Amino acid sequence: MSTTMMTTAHLNAFKKMFEEQKSSLVFNKSMMDESFHIQADEMMDETDLTSAELEQSMRIRLRNREALFAKKIDEALRRIHAGEFGACDECGGEIGLKRLQARPTTTHCVQCKEEQERNERFHVDGRKPKSEGRKIVLKLA
Ligand SMILES: [Zn+2]
């Protein structure tokens, strides 16, 4: 039997998942910090320098993405605590359980998100719509 209604059990499952993801992000971050240093005083030829710079920029990008994702998780947890989780930021309507299970950190219902993306495409021609974050596989107990 499947239902589209948000229950306390669903909320608890979301909360647990967000908390697990958050702790795994913090772990990754500290791992990266430890290995982040690049020895600038080492003799590097052009190729080494380029790959080191590339690696550093990739790490920074990954870290920024993780920081952004952590922020989204914090916001989702705040919404759960405030009893706002599952309500659209824009219209106040139901985001829908199915959509939340596919994109747990989303704050907009499909209609508002599509509207937003249409506007973004209109204003910034050729730019890809912003990602809503990493796709999450939700484990429902
Ligand atoms: Zn909406």
In this prediction, residues 44-70 reach a mean pLDDT of: 82
CA gap 18, 7 in Å, rounded? 17
Q: What digits encode the pLDDT tens for the residues 93-131?
A: 999 999 999 999 999 999 999 999 998 887 655 555 555
Q: Are 76 and 86 in contact (CB under 8 A)?
A: no
* C-alpha 119 – ligand 1 centre gap (Å): 15
Structure tokens at 133: 């974050």
How far, in Å, CA of 21 to CA of 117, rounded? Answer: 27
Global pTM?
A: 0.65
Q: How far apart are the CA of 85 and the centre of ligand 1, in A?
A: 13
Q: How far is the CA of 32 from the centre of ligand 1 (A)?
A: 37
- Centre of ligand 1 from the C-alpha of residue 21, in Å: 26
Q: What is 8-123's CATH superfamily? A: DksA, coiled-coil domain (1.20.120.910)
How many angstroms is it from 114 CA to the middle of ligand 1? 10
* pLDDT for 74: 95
DSSP conformation class of 62: H
Residue 63 confidence (pLDDT) above 50: yes
> Is pLDDT at 41 greater than 90 in this prediction?
no
Q: Could you tell me what percent of the chain has a pLDDT over 70?
A: 68
